[in-house]
Amino acid sequence: MGWNLINAKNDSRLTKNLPDEPRFYFVHSYFVKCHHPENIVCTTHYGHDFDSVIQKDNIWGAQFHPEKSHKFGMKLLKNFSEI
């Protein structure tokens, strides 16, 4: 899958102050479909839209690798450490 944009769906502490058009590194095309729209933090388009970050209470899941995503990933990980 490679580099793809994420689209924030709400004002999440995880995605605050990310640069414009944040691109993250995806290794595969598998994804989880979240059945609770209120838990969807970000979506990504790769042939179709899919949920790329979900969150419920203090549990977070991301379909990409922030540690391989350069400045965008470092900012996201910094945000995560401050939650």
Give residue-wise pLDDT tens across range 53-73: 999 999 999 999 999 999 999
Show the domains of the chain with their CATH numbers.
2-81 (3.40.50.880)
DSSP for 14-73 reads TTTTPPSS-EEEE--S-----S-GGGEEEEEESSSEEEEEEEETTEEEESSBGGGSHHHH
Is the distance from CB of 9 to CB of 67 less than 8 angstroms?
Answer: no
Confidence tier at 10 by pLDDT (50, 70, 90): confident
Model pLDDT, residue 61: 94
CB burial of residue 24 (10 Å; 0-12, 13-18, 19+): buried
Quote the pTM value: 0.89
The tens digit of pLDDT for each residue in 25-48 reads 999 888 889 999 999 999 999 999
What is residue 79's three-state secondary structure? helix
